[in-house]
Structure 1
Amino acid sequence: MDLNYSPYDFGIHNDPYPVYARLREEAPVFRNEPDDVWVLSRHADVQAALRDSATFSSVNGLRIEPAFWGPDAERFFSFVAMDPPRHTRVRGLVSRAFTHRRVQELEPRLRELARAYLDPLLDGEPFDLMTDFAGPFLADVISELVGVPEADRGEVRRLGAAIMYRDEESTDLPPEALQAIGALVGYYAELTRERARGRRDDLLSGLLDAAEGDDRLTLEEIVGVAILLVGAGIETSMLTLGNAWYAAWRHPDQRARAFDGRVADWIEETLRYDPPPQALARTTTAEVELHGTTLPAQSRVLLLIGSANRDPRVFPDPDRFDLDRDTGSSLAFGSGRHHCLGANLGRLETRIALEEIVKVVADYDIDTDGLRRIHSTNNRGFATLPTNVTARR
């Protein structure tokens, strides 16, 4: 059978891992001519590219869909779609506000939110883990962090859902999603102006106060960070939660261990075994010679995180879901100067959600007839995950 890989292929979305295995062994530098993209699949090559931001540039964005790709990519990805020195400046200022302390102080409130969404789901009726719990809970987490007033959170949840839940027949961003992004830009711009008139103990206020000498973030840069959090803080964590739920259901021996105090390991192995970010796009700034193949300058390159995390050169028996595994080499949060600034938040969100679930749920089952995956060139996970739980007594 001919070897073929396309990030637009729905069959790949359903199960990319057999194709990844062939790419790693047969074509570690693969050329997809119809999509005009080169593909790197081995852990060593993906990690090296992530760390070499001078050669593998982020300025055209992280995704190759036309709506996201190109010189305006920072509208969606903020400083993540910048190279030094701009990336260094903006990330440095954001990190002054987006501190470990600020994230960790959210924990008590996030547990309250998680319990509030869980309690109505324990009446014995089936529910959708993604739309009934993960989506609204994680939207409220970001609202809590940013400083969105309670009265506005329902609308922010609605707009976030319009961006995240894409049509199952297409990878394109639908018009309603673009409209929702525009509405959120307008909303966060006005909220930032309000914080400029009176600070509070929230991230927006912290971003306004972040300074390096006389240098501060502009209004547009602050709003860009808020939009980035919709994707990174809501969607990616939502997909992580769903992938963890599904993986544990498929592996009941590991599920029992996860429910018996191993939530942190459950999350880390999920991020290794089935990470939401499956691919990150880059643009070469010069010719690159790799495995006897020359990638021209200005080539579009996909770095397959999902494949790197299943590379047997780094992870023995990589297709096994194992909570005892050493996941230290996982690339789920990237590597190098673009290592995810929100990794602590992502882990905290998912850990609190799963810890609160296992406190009240003894076991669960998934209705496979009703589950549906998202379709995206870079993310993998579920749009719906119908669930029946057995509550603890």
Structure 2
Amino acid sequence: MDPIIAATHADPYPYYAHLRAQGGLVFHQGLKLWVASSAKAVATVLAHPDCHVRPTHEPVPKAIASGMAGKVFRQLMRMNEGESQRCPRSAIQPGLALIDVEDINALVSARWLSPDAEGLHKAMFRGPVCVVAALLGFSPAQARVISELTGDFVACLTPLSDQPQLDAAHAAAEQLRGYFIELLADPDNQSTLLAGIRQRFAATSDAGESLIANLIGLFSQTYEATAGLIGNALLALIRNPQWLNDSINLDDLLAEVQRFDPSVQNTRRFVAASCEIDGVNFNAGDVILVLLASANRDSQLNDHPDAFMLERAQRRSFAFGAGRHQCPGQVLAMSIAHATLRQILALKPALEHLTWCYRPSLNGRIPLFT
């Protein structure tokens, strides 16, 4: 076991507890990086101004730097610091917070779902992207294609992808960019979400390409993180079938799932300048693996952290990050997951007959059902 393999292990949480017991911020000799596992260390690293989301010498992964996926990656607010992060965020975040939950419910309800494993896969991965696409003004047919292209594009975000997958990611980025060029030129677009984002982006330089890149980024963030949230909620129900017979509060279920077994287990920070963090001296170029899921199980953050409690007072979680890079779409993701899970359960799927494995990933915990 190591902190990266742990993300897709059947039960990584005892191992995370072992790491926290070692001090919360330690150097892993095998991986040649630092590991932040305690709530205190994770919070400190995420808030530190010298801990960046990309290494200074490699703002875009070399494997994709020369293609369209790399051009999109370069402009994503989640992969930048300073004005390149703050400006897109200030343009996109306010609109996401104002989306009407009833609009999300209606869009999810309009999609046909089947209660088998294939139907669950589409509901988890394709459905959330279709909802966001519809909110931006795309037609249902366009939204379906966009969800498939997003599935191809996210391959550029992981070093596990092979060359054919990276080639598909470049092609998908090109096509997604084309869809947005057409959407932004459509005088009949009635999306209030897109109108607000465009208006706020208009105050920034090079708004056109940055706008398109970050809208593609909105799709990619929706794709995997929301799929994992829905999937891990289904696993909680499989492991606790008695809840299916109760009038379970899905908001409470999802809130505890994203704390107890989050879809994003870890993230990385790259030290940009020599500094001291939580009593440890770091040099420029050091890498810190930030174990968000471990911090969620720290007793300094939550009482009885290893108990799954639907009704939990003062629940705290790092699942959506913290500080300047906290996910701006948390409310949107939770609302889409709620509506999707409610529709899945209304079909009364035979959850007890499902088997699953975790999608190969270095940081995600996303079940694939069969």
Q: TM-score, normalised by structure 1?
A: 0.81
Match of 1:13 in 2: 9
Pair 1:192 & 2:192 matched: no
Q: Once the 2 structures are TM-superposed, how far is the Cα of residue 37 of structure 1 from its aligned partner? A: 1.9
- 1:95 corresponds to which residue? 93
Rounded to whole Å, the distance in 2 between the matches of 1:129 and 1:321 is 27
Q: Which residue of 1 aligns with 2:152?
A: 162
Whole-Å separation in 1 of the counterparts to 2:84 and 2:155: 32
C-alpha contact (below 8 Å) 1:279/1:379 kept by paired residues: yes
Bigger shift: 128-137 or 220-229? 128-137
Alpha-carbon distance in structure 1 between the residues aligned to 2:249 and 2:212: 37
5 Å matches for 1:218-233?
218-233=207-222
1:389 alignment partner in structure 2: none
CA deviation digits over 1:261-290, x for unaligned, max 9? 410000000000000111111112333445
Does residue 1:75 correspond to 2:73, yes or no?
yes
Percent identity (aligned): 22
Q: Secondary structure in 2 aligned to 1:198?
A: coil
Are 2:369 and 1:372 aligned? no
One of 255, 267, 270 as aligned partner of 1:283: 270
Residue 57 (structure 1) aligned with residue 36 (structure 2) = no
Q: Which residue in 2 is equivalent to 1:86? A: 84
* Cα 1:145/1:11, change in 2 over 3 Å: closer
Amino acid at match of 1:41: S
Structure 1 residues 102 and 10 mapped into 2: Cα distance closer, same or farther (>3 Å)? Answer: closer
Q: Counterpart of 2:322?
A: 335
Instruction: State the one-letter code of the partner of 1:372.
Output: C
What whole-Å deviation, never above 9, does each CA across 1:84-142 have from its counterpart, x for those lacking one?
Answer: 2332222112235x34333546324323234x22xx43xxxx43454243223223113
Tell me how far apart the structure 1 counterparts of residues 80 and 324 of structure 2 sit (CA, whole Å). 11
> 1:13 offset after TM fit, Å?
3.3
Separation in 1 of the partners of 2:120 and 2:164?
A: 20
Q: 2:138 aligns with which of 137, 148, 152?
A: 148
Corresponding residue of 1:308: 295
TM superposition shift of 1:150: 3.1
RMSD value, Cα = 3.1
Whether the 8 Å contact between 2:25 and 2:36 is mirrored in structure 1 is yes
CA distance in 2, matches of 1:6, 1:47: 18
C-alpha separation between the residues in 2 aligned to 1:103 and 1:185?
29
SS in 1 for 2:351: strand
Residue aligning to 1:263 = 250
Cα shift at 1:66:
6.8
Between the aligned partners of 1:221 and 1:85, the Cα distance in structure 2 is 12
Q: Is the alpha carbon distance of 1:366 and 1:265 closer, same or farther for their aligned partners in structure 2, counting shifts above 3 Å?
A: farther
- Structure 1 pair 14–220 and aligned structure 2 pair: CA distance change class (3 A): farther
**Out of 229, 252, 260, which is 1:240 matched to?**
229
After TM superposition, give the deviation of residue 21 of structure 1 in Å. Answer: 0.5
Structure 1 residues 10 and 88, CA, compared in 2 at 3 Å: closer, same or farther? closer
CA distance in 2, matches of 1:84, 1:276: 27
CA distance in 2, matches of 1:77, 1:375: 26
Distance 2:60 2:298 in 1: 24
Other-structure match for 1:48: 44
Residue 180 (1) aligns with residue 168 (2): yes
Superposition TM-score, scaled by structure 2 size: 0.85
In the alignment, the residues of structure 1 paired with residue 60 and residue 36 of structure 2 have an alpha-carbon distance, to the nearest angstrom, of: 15
> Post-superposition shift, 1:80?
1.1
Contact 2:134-2:143 at 8 Å conserved across structures = no
Quick one: which amino acid aligns to residue 218 of structure 2? L
C-alpha distance in structure 1 between counterparts of 2:71 and 2:205, whole Å: 22
Q: Which amino acid aligns with 1:111?
A: V
